[in-house]
Amino acid sequence: MSARAIRRVTSSIVVTLVLAGCSRSAGVADEAPPPAPRGTERAQCTAADPEGELILHPRSLTVAEDTTLVDVALLDAVNLSIVEQAVTGFTGNPEVQGVIRDYPPLKTAGLVDSLADWDQRRPLSGLALTATDGQQAVLVALRLDDPTLSGRLVGVTLTSEVAGTVLTQEIEQPVLVQPPGAVCTFDDVDATREWVP
């Protein structure tokens, strides 16, 4: 048999084996799909205060032109509701995000000077900001719907209006909220990779 004929027979056998393998795989109905890949990002974990509440600080903002803040909504929240959404003067790093474990915050709460003006906070919904207002912290007070269970969220959506145009911004801040007095374990935090984007 010539070398050319041997190559042709070998190629034919390889193609037949590949096709047979494909059709066999396609015909198996009870084969489990491969597990979905887990993310590498993990959520911040914290326990709520004794009333099942805490404050989320998703971002700060400084407006360049007149802006009306419309609303804050939770992204992919489970067992969490908004109690209050407010804005207050902020002197910290504009990139910082954080969680304050007590609502209202204790006098000793820090978050890099952000809560020095807590008593001067203003309701967020409908608030008109101008460039002269300076940097403002967005604060969202949350409550566990069932304080015996943990809650979670991926972040918030901030809606505002500038010159008649409605703008919506999704701000990621994944947080796992444990019931009052609970402890965040490594396994709790590691498991958040299943839902953190």
Sequence letter at residue 187: D
Q: Count how many domains the chain has.
A: 1
Residue 166 is assigned to a structural domain of this protein: yes
Three-class SS state of 120: helix
Residue 16 is assigned to a structural domain of this protein: no
Residue 6 is assigned to a structural domain of this protein: no
Enclosing H/E stretch for 59: strand 53-61
Residue 104 is assigned to a structural domain of this protein: yes
The residue among 168, 46, 50 whose CA lies nearest residue 104 is 50
Residue 25 is assigned to a structural domain of this protein: no
**Tens place of pLDDT per residue across the chain (197 aa):** 554 444 444 444 333 333 334 333 343 334 444 444 556 799 999 999 999 999 999 999 999 999 999 999 999 999 999 999 999 988 888 888 999 988 988 766 555 455 666 788 999 999 999 999 999 999 999 999 999 999 999 999 999 999 999 999 999 999 999 999 999 999 999 999 999 99
